[in-house]
Amino acid sequence: NAGVTQTPKFQVLKTGQSMTLQCAQDMNHNSMYWYRQDPGMGLRLIYYSASEGTTDKGEVPNGYNVSRLNKREFSLRLESAAPSQTSVYFCASSPPPGTGGSTDTQYFGPGTRLTVL
């Protein structure tokens, strides 16, 4: 049981380049989330997916797109990277109600450290 996995761990991009951050969970969780972490600002929600087939904008969605590929996988795409997107990106998931797990705990991946030059 690997929990939440993210790839890559590190990435350096030039301004204007595109890339996709991958996230997968093997805990059969319904809900998945993408956050960015910046110094002094905590974590801010970019997008979330309450269940397979649905996605919604969070607090800071501009410049990003997401795909909920299936129940396990939730990817984050930067179409044209900008220096303001330099950050650490975390994916998280949470279980559905009535399964014995708590709907109120999110499980985080190890993060992707992205630098945009």
Partner 1 sequence: AQSVTQLDSQVPVFEEAPVELRCNYSSSVSVYLFWYVQYPNQGLQLLLKYLSGSTLVESINGFEAEFNKSQTSFHLRKPSVHISDTAEYFCAVSRPVSGGYNKLIFGAGTRLAVHP
Contact 31, 48 (CB under 8 A): yes
**Cβ at position 19, least distance to partner 1 in Å:** 20
Q: How many CB atoms lie within 10 A of CB 36?
A: 23
Report helix, strand or coil for 63.
coil
Binding window for partner 1 (CB under 8 A); candidates: 13-21, 62-70, 77-85, 88-96: 88-96
71 binds partner 1 (CB under 8 A): no
CA–CA dist 78, 87 (Å, integer): 12
Contact 74, 50 (CB under 8 A): no
User: Residue 52 forms beta bridges with which residues?
Assistant: none
19 binds partner 1 (CB under 8 A): no
Site string for partner 1, 28-47 (x = CB under 8 A): --xx--------xxxxxx--
Residue closer to partner 1 by CB (options 17, 88) is 88
**Cβ at position 56, least distance to partner 1 in Å:** 9
